[in-house]
Amino acid sequence: MPVDRPGPALMELIEMTTEDKLFEAIDAERLPAHVAIIMDGNGRWAKERGLPRSAGHRQGVETLREVVRYASSLGIGVLTMFAFSTENWRRPPWEVKYLMGLPQEYLYSELPELIKNNVRVNLLGDPRRLPGPARQAVEKGIEETAHCSGMLLNFALNYGSRQEIIRAVRTIGEDLANGKLTSAIDEEVFASYLYTAGAPDPDLLIRTGGEYRLSNFLLWQIAYSELWFTKTYWPDFKCRHLLQALGDYQRRERRFGQV
Ligand code: IPE
Ligand code: IPE
Ligand code: MG
């Protein structure tokens, strides 16, 4: 006799049970201080459903909403989300335009919740190239959450790690010339010139969508991060996937070059 696939209600119950089990397996005392996520696979998620790529980006915003809420409720200190790279400007104009509409869509609807959850918004990247409405939404998000002392939520938007490093080198050169910088340049000084200044390096880097590459994300900062890849497309990524990543992270031995 053929076995029926579990119906939606049963599937939901199975997933809830899995989530509970995964949650119980996490040690709240040893959470990563900083989790960085490359949200990838929106386009393929849509294509597989016969939908336009924009539908994947839209669903991706919903995943973002859930993951941010969940990470903050778990007590993650810093969450960095890769939303748009300096290379993503090379996409077709309609897609760039669509993606550049998402910061305002997310931030205006989510700001009350972010403030309620004490989440502070920050931007990694050059805001000058962002279209006005996107830039204004990000500025508003930063301003209105400036007093929040809970999770730091970094949006990497028009972000490229190589550009970030070049920018740091240039500013260091200027500050040496104008006397603002008088100390020797060591790792700590250099890191203070990056967009991530003041935040700990990511302990855990997650990439969804099945690609095993970094795509110009946080190259300096992830020197000793634990990397976690999943084939799951970003729109399908759920809190249980985050729990799975956190559990795997906690089972790894970080040696930092020692024995
Ligand atoms: C991630 O999904 C969103 C951005 C890079 C802005 P993609 O749009 O890259 O989706 P795929 O990789 O084509 O499936
Ligand atoms: C990386 O995804 C950038 C973001 C998730 C914002 P891409 O889809 O742009 O990366 P590549 O092109 O596959 O390397
Ligand atoms: Mg992609």
Interacting residues of 192 by C-beta distance below 8 A, sequence separation 6+: 198
- pLDDT tens digits for range 237-253: 999 999 999 999 999 99
Number of domains in the chain: 1
Find the domain containing 133 and state its range: 32-160+200-233
Q: Is the pLDDT of residue 3 over 70?
A: no
Instruction: Answer yes or no: is 24 within a domain.
Output: no
What confidence tens digit (pLDDT) does each residue in 44-59 have? 999 999 999 999 999 9
Report yes or no on 241 lying in a domain.
no
Give CA–CA dist 14/118, Å, rounded: 32
Ligand 2 centroid, distance to 56 Cα (angstroms) = 14
Q: For residue 10, what pLDDT band results from cuts at 50, 70 and 90?
A: confident
What per-residue confidence (pLDDT) applies to 70?
A: 98
Would you state the torsion angle of the CA atoms of residues 76, 78, 84, 87, taken in this order, to the nearest 10 degrees?
-120
Q: Which residues contact 216 (CB under 8 A, 6 or more apart)?
A: 85, 86, 87, 160, 161, 162
Domain presence at residue 39: yes
141: pLDDT confidence band, cut at 50, 70 and 90? very high
Residue 4 located in a structural domain: no
CA of residue 230 to ligand 1 center, whole Å: 14
CA Rg value for the chain:
20
Question: Above 60 in pLDDT, residue 1?
Answer: no
Taking only the tens place, the pLDDT of each residue in 77-124 is 999 999 999 999 999 999 999 999 999 999 999 999 999 999 999 999
Q: CA-based angle 98:131:99, to the nearest 5?
A: 20
Domain assignment present for residue 257? The answer is: no
122 is catalytic: no
Pick the catalytic residue from 42, 88, 117, 154: 88
Residue nearest to atom 2 of ligand 2 (CA): 40
Is the separation of the CB atoms in 34 and 77 below 8 Å? yes
Give ligand 2 pocket residues (Cβ under 6 A).
38-40, 82-85, 88, 211, 213, 215
The SS3 assignment for 8 reads helix
Q: What is the pLDDT of residue 204?
A: 98
Residue 240 lies in a domain: no
Pairwise CA distance, residues 152 & 72, whole Å: 9
Does residue 252 lie within any of the structural domains?
Answer: no
CATH classification at residue 54: 3.40.1180.10
pTM above 0.85, yes or no: yes
Confidence of residue 24 (pLDDT cuts 50, 70, 90): very high
Residue 165 lies in a domain: no
How does the average pLDDT of the chain come out, rounded? 96
CA distances from 201 to 64, 103, 140, 217 (A): 21, 24, 26, 13
